[in-house]
Structure 1
Amino acid sequence: MPYRSRPLSRPRIPGRRTAISGVLAAVPAALLAAGALAPAPAAAASAPSGSTAAGFPASVQAQGKARVTAAVLDLDGTGREPALYGADTPYDTASIIKVDILAARLLQAQDSGHGLTTQERAQAEKMIEHSDNTAADALWRRVGLAPGLKAANKRLGLTSTAGGPGVKWGLTRTTASDQIRLLRGVFDTGAAMKAGTGPALDDASRAYIRTLMSGVAADQAWGVSAAAGSGWALKNGWLQRNTTGLWDVNSVGRITAGGHHYLVAVLSDGNTSMKDGIALVERAARTAVSTTTAH
């Protein structure tokens, strides 16, 4: 089934109660007690030709301890590497990992020659469309925790994603460029696909993920959709770190803008509130897409 084109509308930003329940409330309290991870060393900002990128302008720069990185790939362009903005260093995934969890489970189902069970499909839909954590817990265990994710990601072409310890899927670490690799496995229909060199997911699996990502609940339809013109499909993640009170806020997906289709990944951490993190991610998404378009 082709994914639905969702028109852009300004969604309601969820409050604190929704924020906490929307990502990791269903996992053990030890997950939130893990504490903030030290910021990665600053790296030279990279330019939008090929894999090089430019730093964000002052209007987007994160304030205080916050940091942000964005990656954009024009699916209708000639390049196959994303434009990067900011240091392409690891961030906590929070709930964006749910797309990777579903991709891993679908690969396993393909290998077995059987589709997802009725129960697994119900869990997948809750996990992606409503960011349900109980469903994510079940599918995380089903794929085999971090080792199972690692095996799937090798086939999906991810090189810089490390699954969280034990049941702590929200503490998986990833980079913006790795998220673009995952999104390519779901959305790309370019020359590599026609040449039979990718992706690992079959057409049915890809269409299923696209459909769920284009049907997320209205109060979670923020993030990279801020850069869209006529349609989008996305997954967001948010997590407040217990030891610092600071927030990880991420958004990944596919958008349509100016007649082109873009894959966009924006990762941030160190935000003083979820609201501030959403605002930062949306500013970064708009600036990264407009800058990439200009080049």
Structure 2
Amino acid sequence: MEGGNETLTSDFILMGLFPNMRYVTFLIYTIILIYFASVTGNFILLLLIWIDLRLHTPMYFLLSQLSVIDLALISSTVPKMAISFFSGTRNITHFACGTQIFFFFTLGGAECILLTFMAYDRYVAVCNPLRYAVIVNQGVCLQMATVSWIGGILASTAHTSYTMSLPICGSREIHHFYCEMPAIMKISCKDTSRYELVVFVMGIVFIIIPFGLIMASYTLIFLTVLHMNSPQGRNKVLATCSSHLTVVSLYLGPCVYMYMTPGSSHTSEQEQAVSVFCTVLTPMLNPLIYSLRNKDVVGALQRVLGKHSVSKENA
């Protein structure tokens, strides 16, 4: 609805995670445990990639970028949610709210682009192995990471600027556990239907096109795998590719629901459930998926633990 008297205060009120839920305290403690598990898992993965020279390859460089994104993504929402819950202070300043939105879209956009580059990396490694070192060299990897971050920042700047300029004429209560664009658009007194179309187009650019490119890459990969004579090589490729496809499905699937369907069709509870999945569960699952299905990462962990136990015995 256009018009109305815009409220004078600039602070928002975060209503928190499922405020009407009966056992919300148990859920909060569970999410905090997931947060620490996610931070630990991603930190260990980053440490292994940094320490073990065998993991100094383009694939693991891109994977380290994914871990950095996951660490930042979950840290941009869960600590604030926990502090608000335990302190009882639900206010969030206009600047802090805008900062949350900016980081969320920067990290989300960067992850979409990065997942596409990771699929391309696997395509080159499997379908053009003799030229892999030339095509995907160190400079190209840095360019991939740079493009991912810049793309996320540009999209985020546009979304954040529009969202934080929306007039709020009534209640400033955000029915969410962090500042999110759809939740703020719902409490605005400005007609946002045109911008929902912009969000849909941005979704095509950052979700549908990357998903299409990823599927094209893996279609070519699977066709190449079918002609492999070595069962061991086939299994290794399938294990690595299935891990990446699982991560893609876990991340892009909920994004399609959240940003490519009309906001009026979502309830606040549905939006919060999807957000918990994207910003809390996925960052924890990513290092597990890549570690448990990847012999290189498991081997690196065993070597590090083996060196540590030997050094303790010698001491």
Query: Structure 1 or 2: larger strand share?
Result: 1
Asked whether the two chains share a fold, i.e. TM above 0.5, the reply is no
Question: Normalising by structure 1, what TM-score?
Answer: 0.27
Query: Structure 1 or 2: larger helix share?
Result: 2
Question: Normalising by structure 2, what TM-score?
Answer: 0.26
> Highest Rg: 1 or 2?
2
